[in-house]
Structure 1
Amino acid sequence: MKTDSIFYQLFQNFPHIFFELIGASSITGDAYKFISVEIKQTAFRIDGLFLPSLDLADQPIYFVEVQFQTDPRFYSRFFSEIFLYLRQYDVPNDWRGVVLYPQRSLDSGVPIQYRGLLLTEQVQRIYLDELDRKADNSVGISIVQLIVESETTAIASAQQLINKAGQQIDDATLRTKILELIETILIYKFPQMTRQELEAMFGFSELKQTRYYQDVREEAKQEALLAAIPRLLALGLTVEQVAEALDLTVEQVQQATSKQPLETEE
């Protein structure tokens, strides 16, 4: 499975799930933004960062790594990434490191040079297969558990999760996103099955035929196009060129420009 991309989608769309995993309040996710960062002048890329809002300097930065294979040098690389980031960006916040393993056996162990970071509880290791499997688990925790579910039980677990999402999630847009994420996990987990087979098995196709789903998809597509406008203009394209490239009208591009200021890089 392409676990990195799945967790990226998961944390970007549902940041509260991460804070549930580490034992914090899910509400904490409202104050954080999840991003992936490449550190300049090195070959390091951090899987993900949870950055607190700029006005919350007392809240820590969370460095997140998804480690689904054994790597004896993982911790030396992980801590190097963290300290290079702190040096490069010079942020005032404290930090925490969180490593997600599918099972404990893949953890090669923290080298003695870094043992002090564990003693201060600055680093947290989570073994996903050891998470409590309780009926009252949240939808978010259940999604994470589905990622490491065995193929023999994944089908039944996915069906239960779909039912749970329908019962616990009132927001129709959020339910649709969760359903799509479950579908993505199953596609990676069962590569021999076609998307049509999975949709028929779990009822995804029925949902996708509804007017609401089509409207949500069209709205999401339109928002993605509008979000791309400032970057294209910043690259030097004219309003007319952007409109043609995105298949929008000049008026739509001009309206989006007036509502959303161009991003600048420092």
Structure 2
Amino acid sequence: MNFWEAILLAIVEGLTEFLPISSTGHLIIVSTFLDIAGNDFVKFFNVNIQFGAILSVVVLYYKRFFKSFDFYFKLVVGMLPAIVVGVLAGDYIDALLENVWVVSVALIVGGWVLVKIDEWLPASAANASKEVGFRESFIIGCFQCIAMIPGVSRSAATIIGGLAQRLNRITAAEFSFFLAVPTMFAASAYKLFKDFYKSGAIALSAQEWQLLLIGNVVAFIVAMIAVKTFITYVGKHGFKIFGYYRIFLGSILLILLLLGIDVQMA
């Protein structure tokens, strides 16, 4: 992977990680077209630059992260379902990660849900006063488990979970961001340790360390812009455009598969 490929993948990560459109699906397509999808360092890179995206939420919402201990307890409660499911079904989830057909279908089905969600739950858009409590945190955490199916999108699952609890669009989206910080950090750290450090599958050169640094910086900056823009947009217009885009993306993946193009998990 060269410098420009690293920049492009980091931009994709920053743009898509917190939007309900599946960063996994995008990284698959981009890596495939760049013909680097099967490279071990590319896989390592795509996991590692998530830390840059995570940091963007902490910086943007730093006041929330230092507001009260209740905030952290809510995040822990929201993480618990994913921890339990991850431990019990880890091998099955890993097997799903190799199935791009699953990614394609999940993108399309999830897109259809986002297109219809405002019609199904119109009250959530108007209820501007409801806050996230421990009950809501746990239920949203249960929705987050659905995102273990590749292509569902962690952001989409948790936002839909928040809307189902009659949170307004902005509150649901922001809690999705907050819950992403400990969840993504733990999942990414575990994956890096399990798949790369522990197995000794990858030894980085000086150039690769530079690419990782650049990738995290770019992902951080782009994610900050994406999060701020997303919050402004959904507060006014809802989620339909993201649903239509997911359907389009899933269709692209299906076309690649039907054409016999070797689409590998990035």
TM > 0.5: no
Higher strand share: 1
TM-score normalised by length of structure 1: 0.24
Structure having greater relative contact order (Cα 8 Å, sep ≥ 6) = 2
